[in-house]
Amino acid sequence: MISVKNLTKTFGRTVAVNNISFEVNRGEVLGFLGPNGAGKTTTMRMLTCYLMPDSGTATVAGYDIVDDSLEVRKRVGYLPENAPLYLDMDVVSYLEFVADIRGIPSNEKLRRIKRMVEICGLGSVAGRTVGQLSKGFKQRVGLAQTLIHDPEILILDEPTTGLDPSQIIEIRELIKEIGKERTVILSTHILPEVEATCSRVLIINEGEIAASGTPEELHSVAGGEDSFYVAIKTQDAQVEEKLRRIAAVREVKKLADLEEGYTRYLLKSKDGGSVGEQIFKAAVENGWMINELHRETLSLEDIFLKLTTKEKSE
């Protein structure tokens, strides 16, 4: 649905986007991450035809963003970080205005507006002036204008900004539901939102792609380790040595002596897929008793920091 090849955009001497390439498939919800100034918004503006690239190409729904920009705009719903609202219009009048601009037939317009009011939870404010709404409701109106023409592709920049926790959950579920039939690019600084919503993550830093993949794949790219915490009760004097023999375990550290004769250990692993199973197997073979075993992996926030800060090169 979206194909980006060697896309570049500069502003004077500043290279905002530097020769990036990526693909987004139908039904994929792509989390687009990066620190401030990384090039996220510039990329999204090029894909929605607000900015023209200096070089490179991109197609959206099969149409070129330069040669067929009008066709691209027909098929994209774009919600910028600051939603483009007319504050002196009431909610329904604003949605009617957007529907007219989008060329929605008059016999279909009322149904679409009612559907947007329902989906975006605007029923209680439908007759109110947009400028009188809270930031959360303004964001909902912005999302409604993004969806009203039933676009094939959604490009959303911080779509849950200003929403309360229950509203955030509702919008997340809506995005996931939309993503079953459409392509979605979601830019956000709320990393748990990405983990809850997105099927794949693309991280951009200083105008270049730093990494792309599922959260699990990015964990590997970031060189992340798994940590296993296990509490063992045994008279076996070689327990630490036997834990070190487990495949993929690179370090074993005794942490503390606990109550009832248990000792807590930390095991570090670069490839922790089956380490937990191997710990259980070792316990059975050696007659150890276990009352704790859990695995901790790098969070998406940890991965993000590793790939976009000086940690990456340290």
Strands 14-24, 29-33: pairing is unpaired
pLDDT at 311: 45
Smallest CA-to-CA distance from 193 within 14, 27, 2, 31 is with: 31
Terminal-residue alpha carbon distance, the chain: 37
CATH of 226-296, one of 3.40.50.2000, 3.40.640.10, 3.30.70.3100, 3.20.20.70: 3.30.70.3100
- Residue 313: CA atoms inside 13 Å, Cβ hemisphere, count? 3
Query: Does the reported pTM lie above 0.85?
Result: no
Q: How far apart are CA 74 and CA 100, in angstroms?
A: 13
CA angle 108, 109, 113 (to 5 degrees): 120
283: region left, alpha or beta (phi > 0 left; psi from -120 to 50 alpha): alpha
Q: How confident is the model at residue 109 (pLDDT cuts 50, 70, 90)?
A: very high
Sign of CA dihedral 60, 110, 29, 191: positive
| Highest averaged pLDDT of the listed ranges 58-72, 132-146, 188-202 | 58-72
Q: What percent of the chain has pLDDT over 70?
A: 94
Determine contact, residues 249/295, Cβ cutoff 8 Å: no
Residue 221 pLDDT greater than 70, yes or no? no
Domain ranges of the chain: 2-221, 226-296
Q: How confident is the model at residue 272 (pLDDT cuts 50, 70, 90)?
A: low
Residue 123 pLDDT greater than 50, yes or no? yes
Residue 306 pLDDT greater than 70, yes or no? yes
Residue 201 pLDDT greater than 80, yes or no? yes
Q: Which of 75-84, 157-166, 281-290 has the lowest mean pLDDT?
A: 157-166
pLDDT at 312: 46
**139 vs 55, residue with greater confidence:** 55
Residue 310 pLDDT greater than 80, yes or no? no
Q: pLDDT by residue (tens digit) across 128-158?
A: 999 999 888 888 899 899 999 999 999 998 8
Q: How confident is the model at residue 313 (pLDDT cuts 50, 70, 90)?
A: very low
pLDDT at 73: 94
Scan for tokens 């990494």, then name that residue: 211
- Residue 270: CA atoms inside 13 Å, Cβ hemisphere, count? 6
Scan for tokens 């550290």, then name that residue: 253
CATH topology of domain 2-221: Rossmann fold (3.40.50)
Q: Helices 106-119 and 135-147 sit at what angle, rounded to 10 degrees?
A: 140
pLDDT at 54: 96
What integer best gives the mean pLDDT of the chain? 87
Q: How confident is the model at residue 253 (pLDDT cuts 50, 70, 90)?
A: very high
Residue 314 pLDDT greater than 50, yes or no? no
pLDDT at 153: 93
φ/ψ of residue 278, rounded to 5 = -70, -30
